[in-house]
Amino acid sequence: MDRDEVLQVFRAFEAEGLEYVLIGAAAMGFHGVVRATEDLDFLIRSTAENVERLKRAFRQVYDDDPNIDDISAEDLLGEYPAVRYYPPSGDLYFDILTRLGQAASFENVESMVMEVEGIQVWIATPRALFRLKKGTVRPLDRQDAEALRQRFDLEER
């Protein structure tokens, strides 16, 4: 994953006023719990206007990619609220979600702002990441949850 590319994306998100929260392994890394990953996972506010902000932000970074037009509010606001975007750089990909079933949405995932090279990045808190990962069927998520629990002395609840 190219750090400069990731920073360009965050800068574009900020410039466009995208309402998002970073979740997943990349968010864990911001909190010092490092695990290899090839993608960035985001929950975004589920409005058509916010989806347009997302597309404008991606165009700032990947301006000649016609695949950005395939990201639609109809998909993200519909029954299956997830889109995977592969930018032309090939170094990373993005999983964009408006909700994770009934368990999580932009509106109910606790987040915080961290500043990275002058860019404000919205990141799920360790407790929110723990809650997202602890009850899944994927073993890697359960391992992540345990690492977060130990690092931040989180309760099982």
Asked if the structure places residue 157 within a domain, the reply is: no
Verdict on whether the full-model pTM lies above 0.85:
yes
Range of the domain at 73: 3-152
Residue 14 has what pLDDT?
98
Asked if the structure places residue 109 within a domain, the reply is: yes
Burial class of residue 31 (count of CB atoms within 10 Å of its CB; 0-12, 13-18, 19+): middle
Asked if the structure places residue 82 within a domain, the reply is: yes
Asked if the structure places residue 58 within a domain, the reply is: yes
Backbone angles phi, psi at 3, to 5 degrees: -60, -45
Asked if the structure places residue 111 within a domain, the reply is: yes
Tell me the C-alpha distance between 16 and 19, whole Å.
9
pLDDT tens digits for range 61-102: 999 899 999 999 998 998 889 999 999 988 889 999 999 877
